[in-house]
Amino acid sequence: MRRTGICGRKTCVCKPRSGRWTICGPKTTGSGRCWRSVISNPTASWQPVVTPRGIVGKTGTVGRTTTRVMLISDENCKVSVLTEGSGARGILLGDTPLNGGVPVCKMTFVTREAKFEVGERVLTTGLGGTFPPNLLVGTVSEAPPLTAEKNSGLYREGQVAPAADLNDLREMFILTGGSPAKK
């Protein structure tokens, strides 16, 4: 089903093979005029928001005509993830960059024994109920070795570069139709 939005751009609602409905449309700021045509049936909070390049975050506050998205670079957005190569599991959360730089994320609560390397793809696990499994999150950009100064506690940490360009979000997709997690 295709609709022309208030801003003249095409929007769509489609059902992919996964059985989850997808609502897509342009990202707006301010009044959210374009969203009005995209979200004809209101979405719920805590639904995955993605781009073709990877996950962006999850829906937060849902209004009558707009939906606020909590980005994965937000320290309050937590995602259960694993690395594709080594299978290291952890929790991804936002890590605010200094001086307004490129958004980054931390992969935390990784067991000390887990070995993961720079360049490994990071995917969602499906745990937690918000994100389905195997959605691309990004790639490991830092994997500090176990030393007295770094990663000396019970868990390791690494840094993840998001696959989606969080500074240039022109169109996003909201995956609906699953069973979103409760807050």
Domains of the chain are 2-72+167-176 (2.40.10.340), 78-162 (2.40.10.350)
Query: Which residues sit opposite 92 in a β-bridge?
Result: 79, 107
pTM above threshold 0.85: no
Q: Give me the torsion for CA of 151, 143, 53, 77, rounded to 10°.
A: 10
Closest to 83 in 3D by CA, of 49, 106, 115, 52: 115
Tokens 């962006």 belong to which residue? 56
pLDDT tens for the chain, residues 1 to 183? 333 333 334 444 444 445 555 555 555 443 333 333 233 345 677 888 888 899 999 888 777 767 788 889 888 899 999 999 999 999 999 887 665 677 889 999 999 889 899 999 999 999 988 899 999 999 999 998 877 666 667 888 999 999 998 887 777 888 876 544 444
Give the ranges where the chain is alpha helix by DSSP (H): 33-38
Question: 36 in helix, strand or coil?
Answer: helix
Burial class (CB in 10 A: 0-12, 13-18, 19+), 100: exposed
Question: Distance (Å, rounded) from C-alpha 121 to C-alpha 96?
Answer: 21
Question: 98 in helix, strand or coil?
Answer: helix
Residue 177: CB partners within 8 Å, gap ≥ 6? Answer: 15, 19, 20, 21
How far is CA 44 from each of CA 58, 104, 147, 167, rounded to the nearest angstrom?
10, 26, 43, 24
Question: Distance (Å, rounded) from C-alpha 154 to C-alpha 125?
Answer: 22
How many residues in the chain? 183
